[in-house]
Amino acid sequence: MATIAEPVPMPRREPAGALTGDLQVRRLVIAHVWVAVVAFAVACLLGVWQMWARSPIEAPAHTAANYFRSVTLHGVSMAFVLTTFFIMGFGYFVAETALKRPVPGLKLAWAAFWMGIAGVLMAALSVVSGRASVLYTFYPPLTATAWFYIGLVLVVVASWIWCLLMIVAMRSWKAANPGQAVPLAMFGTVANAVMWLWTTVGVAAELLFQVIPAALGLNGMVDVGLSRTLFSWTLHAIVYFWLFPSYIAFYTMAPRAAGGRLYSDTMGRLAFILFLLYSLPVGLHHLFMDPEHSNGFKFLQMFLTALVSVPTFLTVFTIAASLEVAGRMRGGTGTFGWIRALPWDRPMVLATGLAFFMLFWGGGGGLVNMSYGMNAMVHNTSWVTAHFHLIFGGTVVIMYFAIAYAMWPMLTGRAFPSMKPLLTQLWLWFIGMMVMTLPWHWTGLQGQWRRIAAFDYSDPLIASWGPWVIVSLVGGIILAVSALMFVWNLVVLHRSSSPRAPVTDVPYAEAVHPPGRLPASLNGFGLWNVIVAVLMLLAYGYPIAQFFIDPPPQAVVHRLH
């Protein structure tokens, strides 16, 4: 390894920062996580039934109405409820444990929680009643009951309150600690909050100006191209909103769990900033197959999409290097020996390894999707379903498991009696996800299309997919078992039979070189907000303006209830 002449002073190390007493956000975090977990478990069971319905094996209660009701509930629960509530809960946890000070505005946080609950109930009841089977991506001019959309708006407004609380928490910490680097976990959390405020502008505009007026009967016509464009504004960055906690865990929790150091704190900050910049001006890649946008803007956003792969590639290296440090500290040698030396019996380490493996497949599928003309080969086929289940289930949710397992002892004051059920649950999730999604890639390439309630297996091509659909169903069953095990693993720590063992260790890794004084650009988001604004103007300015400059004919609103 190269050495540079100028010696760098050794960072001064002080005694471990033990935390005593209960966290002030304890109940708040537990409440948020449990809402997320319940939505997740319901959605997993619905998912299994959906795959059963599409398989050659006859499923109970199989009607088109039930199927689309189920798909809507599955999508809304996973994409809006599980994620939003988990991210908010994790954010409060990080704000108190990483900044080591009480989170401001706890009353407001609880108000946001209850607003979110009200919204979830409104949306869920609308879907269950069969008056909102429009899937979680809406598809105007199809129109559900207004309660569905208003419920979702309440969830989003609740998340905005969270965003503001996170920003305020970071600002007041900076005021109290002038010149110091914001701890990386909080820097990532606030990057996510800032990004989410930008992200939700698109869907909020679509709902407030187009969809809700149509649902209330104020508007009989809707500009579909505009609504698709506004939704696309949200549709890519929302995935990074879900992913951020996973990346925060990769950078700040996994290296600590492995017993090492974060290789580079600067790269962590850079990755978070790149996510903020490049996950927004790329949404048109969801509309490659749409007629309403020119190839020029599709090409521009394809180029920017390629750039959003950069922070992920950088993360792969930085985290591999961090784990390598840990493996070598544990006695691993050689080019690959450090991998075996890692403590794979710790949930955070195992989840990180499995997440990267699934990210390889999900990200690889994504590279095909984003490839402009090549998107025609896979658009709206099972290939895409496989891609986003690997990203969502494989990278997002498996890290949520690991984060929950890391937080739970601190929140409940009890220790897991054994790590075995946790590790088994993670392995089952991984196996189930691979078994479910690999066949989807294969059938998707042959043209198996998405979002239908059943396949007609009398057609020879569709019949040839049958066995693969059954393999996927088996994967889904394994996933559902894993999901229920996850619920049980969390329940166990609430039971008084589990050993009381208050955890005082803050679970964040220190960097090999802890950051000293940072330039303002690596310690805040002022500059980056300006750049996001410029990029969004460039990427979305004309594509949105064209609907007003040269308005296309509108579509008649179609009520689904």
Q: Interface with other proteins includes 405 (CB under 8 A)?
A: no
> With contacts defined by CB under 8 A, how many residues of the chain interact with other proteins?
128
Among the listed ranges 86-94, 161-169, 361-369, 530-538, the one in contact with other proteins (CB under 8 A) is 361-369
Identify the active-site residue in 62, 328, 330, 450: 450
Q: Which two tokens stand for residue 94?
A: 């990080």
Q: Interface with other proteins includes 558 (CB under 8 A)?
A: yes
Query: What is the Cα gyration radius of the chain?
Result: 23
Kindly state the helix (H) or strand (E) to which residue 475 belongs, with its residue range: helix 460-494
Q: Which two tokens stand for residue 144?
A: 């559900």
Among the listed ranges 84-92, 185-193, 454-462, 518-526, the one in contact with other proteins (CB under 8 A) is 454-462
Kindly state the helix (H) or strand (E) to which residue 331 belongs, with its residue range: none
Identify the active-site residue in 389, 392, 416, 455: 389
**Contact between 394 and 358 (Cβ < 8 Å):** yes
Closest CA to 249 of 334, 359, 378, 132: 359
Q: Which amino acid is at 103?
A: V
Shortest distance, CB of residue 323 to other proteins, whole angstroms? 8
Among 178, 179, 291, 526, binds other proteins (CB under 8 A): 291
| Tokens 């690991």 belong to residue | 402
Identify the active-site residue in 388, 392, 508, 525: 388
Among the listed ranges 82-90, 196-204, 428-436, 442-450, the one in contact with other proteins (CB under 8 A) is 442-450
Q: Which two tokens stand for residue 35?
A: 């809402």
Q: Interface with other proteins includes 289 (CB under 8 A)?
A: yes
Please give the full DSSP string across 211-269, using - where no structure is assigned.
IHHHHTTS-SEE-HHHHHHHHHHHHTHHHHHHHHHHHHIIIIIHHHHTTS-BS-HHHHH
Q: Interface with other proteins includes 327 (CB under 8 A)?
A: yes
Identify the active-site residue in 236, 286, 346, 414: 236
Shortest distance, CB of residue 3 to other proteins, whole angstroms? 6
Shortest distance, CB of residue 88 to other proteins, whole angstroms? 20
Identify the active-site residue in 27, 340, 451, 558: 451
Q: Interface with other proteins includes 338 (CB under 8 A)?
A: yes
Q: Interface with other proteins includes 255 (CB under 8 A)?
A: no
Among 115, 164, 320, 544, binds other proteins (CB under 8 A): 320
Shortest distance, CB of residue 420 to other proteins, whole angstroms? 28
Among 128, 216, 376, 501, binds other proteins (CB under 8 A): 376
Among the listed ranges 43-51, 110-118, 263-271, 432-440, the one in contact with other proteins (CB under 8 A) is 263-271
Taking residue 187's Cβ as centre, other Cβ atoms within 10 Å add up to 28
Applying the rule CB under 8 A, the residues between 222 and 241 that interact with other proteins are: 223-225, 228
Distance, CA of 127 to CA of 144 (rounded, Å) = 9
Distance, CA of 113 to CA of 144 (rounded, Å) = 25
Per DSSP, 376 falls in state G
- 3-state SS, 421-433, equals HHHHHHHHHHHHH
Shortest distance, CB of residue 281 to other proteins, whole angstroms? 16
Nearer to other proteins, 277 or 422 (CB): 277
Q: Interface with other proteins includes 46 (CB under 8 A)?
A: no
450 is an active site residue: yes
Q: Interface with other proteins includes 302 (CB under 8 A)?
A: yes
Distance, CA of 427 to CA of 482 (rounded, Å) = 8
Q: Interface with other proteins includes 344 (CB under 8 A)?
A: no
The answer to whether the bond into 311 is cis (omega within 30° of 0) is no
* 456 backbone φψ class: left, alpha, beta (φ>0; ψ -120 to 50): beta
Give catalytic residues, as residue numbers: 236, 240, 387-389, 450-451
